[in-house]
């Protein structure tokens, strides 16, 4: 399908009618940035209920890794569905779950043998990681990073610190959850220049948090997004992850990579942490792992994942149909899509950096593979966040037939299916260019 092709005013009449029905009966807690109502999709193109075609650079929040309804994934789903839909890997055995654990043993960025725990979502993959870290170490403390997103269940939410309203009204959080500044070089938390970075942002963790707030021998784990997703697609310097690995290793603290958004080929490597030459102790994935079916996976070194029967489980986790979709997804990623993410991602990043030269409001363009963030600022010196302008650009993209999402307060996230072609990437850049050009105020002045 060629996209975009917009035939109606947006939202069209059918979209409007469905949104009205939704408004009456669906939880209002969901964040809907703009009124897109899905009818069907193929590859990186989606069609709404009024027959409008959009280029999809959101992928259902970085989920449709192999594109919408990839025929091989659909065939794997149908094949498994005809055999059985559910048998609960908690109580019984089935091959797709074992095979997927074997696959993770092969691809996980952990040396030696691994074991995997299966759940249904990113939040659950993080809950499992938190519980396992506590169980394996006999310690209670957990550390996350400011700006991070790890999910909405109470354990994951306690480590989440992306936006205060995600926590507002739900306190108190889980005891023993602490936060430290993240390695955001565009907004260095300690006011230094990226050129001379020695990951000084981790001084707070090492010399304040672990000295004044909790003794390191009571910290079970540190959960870190290799590239911060929801917080604004922030890419730290390798020094950040390397120093974090040193600190955690020195204190016997487990390092947990939250690869829910950054993992499964999105950055051009199977796991984003691989870009930083760091080996974590545990890795959590969800989102793109099964191309759109619900699945969470928490993988740890075998010696770490040695909890006894009954200590943790999930009725639906590791559903056989989701496992079949994940096995096919990994096969496709390895065959070509991870490489495509690297190639088309590099091209897209380069083209978006050209927009930075043209539009003063573009303060920073960063990313790896097809995980790219564009941060908008009102002034390149003060870096005042262009919050309303970002929302306006996201909406202007939608009106022009491109789906993108916001990330953080003032960044645009580009997270397309990994099947995106160079031609589609080029179309996306042209639309973003036009959307930026449509801002009523010229934007940043310096
Ligand atoms: C890095 C990260 N971790 C965890 C989660 C939670 O995943 P889920 O929404 O599937 O619970 C998300 C979701 O956006 C995420 O981006």
For ligand 1, the distance from its centroid to the CA atom of residue 108, given in whole angstroms, is: 19
Residues 172 and 314 in one domain: yes
Residues 298 and 406 in one domain: no
233 vs 247: CA distance, rounded Å: 24
Residues 273 and 355 in one domain: no
Residues 144 and 262 in one domain: yes
Residues 415 and 266 in one domain: no
CATH code at 156? 3.40.640.10
333 vs 116: CA distance, rounded Å: 20
Q: Is residue 324 part of a domain?
A: no
Q: Which of 121, 123, 263, 271 to mutate to test the pocket of ligand 1 (most atoms within 8 A of CB)?
A: 123
- Domain hosting residue 265, numbered range: 86-318
**Ligand 1 pocket, 206 CB below 6 A?**
no
Please check the confidence at residue 442 and state whether its pLDDT lies above 70: no
Q: What is the pLDDT of residues 202-227, one digit of tens each?
A: 999 999 999 999 999 999 999 999 99
176-205 burial, b for 16+ CB within 10 Å, e for fewer?
Answer: bbbbbbbbbbbbebeeeeeeebebbbbbbb
Q: Is residue 198 part of a domain?
A: yes
pLDDT on residue 445: 42
Rounded average pLDDT over 386-402? 98
Residues with Cβ within 8 Å of residue 9, at least 6 apart in sequence: none
Q: Cα separations (Å) of 367 from 117, 275, 391?
A: 29, 11, 20
Residues 209 and 168 in one domain: yes
CATH code at 426? 3.90.1150.10
Q: Which of 288, 318, 348 is the last residue of a domain?
A: 318
Residues 409 and 366 in one domain: yes
Q: Is residue 325 part of a domain?
A: no
pLDDT on residue 348: 98
pLDDT on residue 440: 81
326: three-class secondary structure by DSSP: helix
Outline where DSSP puts E strands in 70-161: 114-119, 141-145
**Ligand 1 pocket, 126 CB below 6 A?**
yes
State the closest ligand 1 atom to the C-alpha of 259, by its place in the atom list counted from 1. 1
pLDDT on residue 446: 42
Q: What is the pLDDT of residues 49-106, one digit of tens each?
A: 999 999 999 999 999 999 999 999 999 999 999 999 999 999 999 999 999 999 999 9
**Ligand 1 pocket, 229 CB below 6 A?**
yes
Global pTM value:
0.97
Half-sphere exposure of 48 (CA within 13 A, CB side): 32
* Per-residue pLDDT band at 396 (split at 50, 70, 90): very high
Residues 247 and 125 in one domain: yes
Outline where DSSP puts E strands in 141-197: 141-145, 177-180
Q: Is residue 175 part of a domain?
A: yes
* Per-residue pLDDT band at 11 (split at 50, 70, 90): very high
For ligand 1, the distance from its centroid to the CA atom of residue 149, given in whole angstroms, is: 7
Q: Which of 58, 61, 155, 261 to mutate to test the pocket of ligand 1 (most atoms within 8 A of CB)?
A: 261
State the closest ligand 1 atom to the C-alpha of 151, by its place in the atom list counted from 1. 6
For ligand 1, the distance from its centroid to the CA atom of residue 160, given in whole angstroms, is: 10
Please check the confidence at residue 187 and state whether its pLDDT lies above 90: yes
Taking the alpha carbons of 310, 313, 315, 319 in that order, is the dihedral positive or negative?
Answer: negative
Residues 268 and 229 in one domain: yes
Burial class (CB in 10 A: 0-12, 13-18, 19+), 372: buried
pLDDT on residue 323: 98
pLDDT on residue 441: 61
Give the range among 31-35, 93-97, 322-326, 388-392 with minimum mean pLDDT. 31-35
* Per-residue pLDDT band at 194 (split at 50, 70, 90): confident
For ligand 1, the distance from its centroid to the CA atom of residue 116, given in whole angstroms, is: 18
Q: Is residue 2 part of a domain?
A: no
414 vs 341: CA distance, rounded Å: 12
Residues 98 and 219 in one domain: yes
Q: Is residue 8 part of a domain?
A: no
Matching residue, tokens 């993770």: 104
Q: Is residue 445 part of a domain?
A: no
Domain count, the chain: 2
Q: What is the pLDDT of residues 251-273, one digit of tens each?
A: 999 999 999 999 999 999 999 99
Q: Which of 289, 318, 347 is the last residue of a domain?
A: 318
Please check the confidence at residue 433 and state whether its pLDDT lies above 50: yes
317-346 burial, b for 16+ CB within 10 Å, e for fewer?
Answer: bbbbbbbbbbbbbbebbeeebbebbbbbbe
- Residue identifier of the C-alpha nearest atom 8 of ligand 1: 122
61 vs 404: CA distance, rounded Å: 9
Residues 294 and 269 in one domain: yes
pLDDT on residue 345: 98
Q: Is residue 1 part of a domain?
A: no
**Ligand 1 pocket, 286 CB below 6 A?**
yes
Q: Which of 318, 346, 372 is the last residue of a domain?
A: 318
Residues 154 and 225 in one domain: yes
Q: Cα separations (Å) of 385 from 270, 389, 409, 411?
A: 32, 9, 7, 9
Please check the confidence at residue 165 and state whether its pLDDT lies above 80: yes
């Amino acid at each position: 399908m060629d996209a975009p092709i917009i035939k109606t005013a947006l939202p069209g009449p059918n979209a409007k009618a469905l949104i009205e029905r939704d408004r009456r009966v669906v939880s209002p807690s969901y964040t809907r940035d703009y009124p897109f109502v899905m009818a069907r999709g193929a590859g990186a193109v989606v069609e709404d209920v009024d027959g409008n075609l959009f280029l999809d650079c959101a992928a259902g929040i970085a989920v449709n890794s192999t594109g919408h309804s990839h025929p091989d994934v659909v065939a794997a789903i149908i094949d498994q569905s005809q055999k059985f839909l559910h048998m609960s890997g908690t109580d019984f055995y089935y091959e797709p779950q074992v095979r997927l654990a074997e696959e993770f043993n092969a691809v996980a960025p952990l040396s030696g043998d691994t074991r995997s725990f299966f759940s249904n979502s990113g939040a659950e993959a993080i809950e499992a990681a938190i519980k396992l870290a506590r169980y394996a170490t006999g310690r209670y403390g957990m550390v996350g990073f400011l700006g991070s997103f790890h999910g909405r269940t109470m354990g994951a939410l306690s480590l989440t610190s992306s936006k205060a309203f995600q926590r507002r009204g739900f306190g108190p959080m889980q005891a023993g959850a602490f936060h430290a500044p993240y390695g955001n070089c565009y907004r260095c938390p300690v006011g230094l220049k990226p050129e001379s970075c020695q990951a000084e942002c981790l001084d707070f963790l090492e010399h304040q948090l672990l000295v004044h707030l909790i003794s390191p021998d009571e910290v079970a784990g540190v959960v870190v997004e290799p590239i911060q997703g929801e917080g604004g697609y922030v890419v730290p310097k390798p020094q950040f992850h390397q120093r974090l690995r040193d600190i955690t290793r020195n204190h016997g603290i487990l390092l947990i990579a939250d690869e829910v958004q950054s993992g499964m080929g999105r950055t051009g490597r199977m796991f984003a942490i691989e870009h930083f030459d760091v080996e974590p102790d545990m890795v959590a994935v969800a989102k793109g792992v099964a191309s759109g079916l619900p699945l969470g996976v928490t993988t740890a070194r075998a010696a770490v994942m040695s909890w006894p029967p009954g200590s943790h489980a999930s009725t639906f986790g590791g559903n056989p149909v989701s496992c079949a979709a994940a096995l096919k997804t990994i096969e496709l990623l390895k065959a070509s899509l991870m490489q495509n993410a690297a190639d088309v991602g590099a091209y897209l990043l380069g083209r978006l950096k050209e927009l930075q030269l043209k539009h003063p409001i573009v303060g920073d363009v960063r990313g790896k593979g097809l995980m790219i963030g564009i941060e908008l600022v009102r002034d390149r010196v003060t870096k005042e966040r262009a919050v309303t302008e970002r929302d306006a650009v996201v909406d202007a993209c939608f009106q022009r037939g491109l789906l993108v999402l916001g990330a953080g307060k003032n960044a645009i996230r580009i997270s397309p299916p990994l099947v995106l072609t160079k031609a589609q990437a080029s179309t996306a850049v042209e639309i973003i260019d036009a959307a930026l050009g449509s801002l009523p105020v010229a934007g940043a002045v310096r």
